[in-house]
Each structure stands twice: as structure tokens, then as C-alpha cells.
Structure 1
Amino acid sequence: MSRIRAAYYDPDGTKYGIPTYWWRGAPAGYATRRQLRAAGLRPGGQPIAAQILWRGVGGTRTAYLYRVDLARPKRTATPAQLRAIDAALTARRTCPTCRVVRPYCIPRSLGECVDCAYPMEEAA
């Protein structure tokens, strides 16, 4: 075992408080949030079960692990929630000045679409 791996290997949790493993050294049955999401699961309120530590840019990096057997299925949005999201995204694309729905979100820094914010550049 290399020195780096040995520094981050603490399966009992005596050094770091929770079980700690090196990069790609965690046993089966643990997954990160992203891995759970890819499998159609979510942590479901369970506490962090373990962590992975590795040396990265800017210092030591951490990834928290959750138990797969305690994970719950991802929740799906209801039709009403999907309609509300669609309405909110449409409102972000609607210019308050010309009332045109644009194919991009209206920049908050301008407060209106680019055509309304810079009318002279369009004519040139």
C-alpha cells in the first residue's frame, strides 16, 4: 500500500470520525450522491456512512458515501409541478419590454432581451 493510500485508510473511523477510504478504495455497498442518482436512487435522509479522501488541486478532496441498501427511489415530479416549472422557465425567457418569448433566458443584468437592450446594433 502506498503512503498516500495508507494516510487515507481508516475503515474504523478512529482518525477521521467516520470510515474513510482512498480513491476507488471503498467497499461495495457504498455510493456517492451522483452514483445513487445514476441508479435512480436518493440518500433518503440517511446520514453520511463513509467518505473518500484524495489529494487534489488545492489540497485534500472529499467525497461522501451513503449506504445503497438504505437508499430510496428517486421521487418523480407531479404533473402540477412540471407545469409550474414550465411556466417559470417560460417567464425567464419572456422579455418584459417587447413581450416576445426568446430561445434564451433574459439576462438579469439587462432586464430585457438583447434586441431591446441594444436596438442600434440590430439596425447596423
Structure 2
Amino acid sequence: MGRIRAAFYDPEGARWGIPTWWWRGAPAGYATRRQLRAAGLRPGGQPVAAQLMWAGVGGTRVAYLYRLDLAKPKRTATPAQLRAVRAALRARRTCPTCGVVRSYCIPRSLGECVDCAYPQEVAA
């Protein structure tokens, strides 16, 4: 075990407060939020069970780990929620001046579509 890895090895949690391993050194049964999401799971309200630590750019980096056996399945959106999201995204693409639904989100800095904001450039 290298010197850097040894600095982050604390499986009992005596030094860091919770069990700690170096990057890619955690035992099976733990996962990060991103790994849980990829597996179709979520932490489900459980506290952080352990952590990974490594020397990174700007100092020591940390990734929190959750127990796989306590993870719950991801929740899926209801049809009503999906309709609401589609309506909100459509509203962001609708120009308030001309009422045309654009293929891009209307810039908040302009408050209207590019064609309405710069009509002289469209005519040219």
C-alpha cells in the first residue's frame, strides 16, 4: 500500500469519523449516488455510510458512499408530471411577441425570439 493510499485507509472510521477508503478501494456493498442512479436505485433517506478520499486538483477530494442493501428503487414520474414538464419546456420555446414555437429556448436576455428581437437582420 502506497503512502497516499495509507493516508486515506480508515475502515473503522477512527480518523475520519466514518469508514474511509482510497479511490477505487471500497469493498462491495457500497456505491456513490451516480452508481446508484445507473443501477436504477436511490439512497432513499439513508445517511452516508462511508467515503472515498483521494488527492486531487486543489486538495483532498471526497466521494460519499451509500449502502446498496438499504437503497430503494428510483421513483418514476407520473403521466401528469411528464405532461407538466412538456408544457413548461414548450412555454420556454414559445415567443411572447409572435407566438411561434421555436426549436430553441427563448433567451431571457431578449425576452422574445431572435427574429422578433432583431427584425432588420431577418429582412436582409
- TM-score, normalised on structure 1? 0.96
Written as runs of structure 1 = structure 2, the 5 A alignment for 1:71-82 is 71-82=71-82
Match of residue 20 from structure 1: 20
- Count residues in correspondence: 124
- Aligned mates of 1:20, 1:110 — CA distance in 2: 50
Which residue identity is paired with 1:95?
C
Runs of 4+ that moved beyond 2 A: none
Alignment deviations for residues 67-116 of structure 1 (CA, whole Å, 9 cap, x no partner)? 00000000011111111111011011111111111111111111111111
- Aligned mates of 2:7, 2:14 — CA distance in 1: 13
Which residue identity is paired with 2:26?
A
**More off after superposition, 49-58 vs 36-45:** 49-58
Match of residue 56 from structure 1: 56
- Aligned mates of 1:55, 1:119 — CA distance in 2: 54
In the TM superposition, residue 9 of structure 1 has moved relative to its aligned partner by 0.8
Alignment deviations for residues 22-47 of structure 1 (CA, whole Å, 9 cap, x no partner)? 00000000000110011000000000
- Aligned mates of 2:117, 2:56 — CA distance in 1: 43
- TM-score, normalised on structure 2? 0.96
- Aligned mates of 1:55, 1:122 — CA distance in 2: 53
RMSD: 0.8
Give ranges in structure 2 of 5+ residues lacking alignment. Answer: none
Alignment deviations for residues 48-70 of structure 1 (CA, whole Å, 9 cap, x no partner)? 00111111121111111000000
- Aligned mates of 2:118, 2:60 — CA distance in 1: 47
Give ranges in structure 1 of 5+ residues lacking alignment. Answer: none
Q: Does 1:92 align with 2:86?
A: no
SS in 2 for 1:97: coil
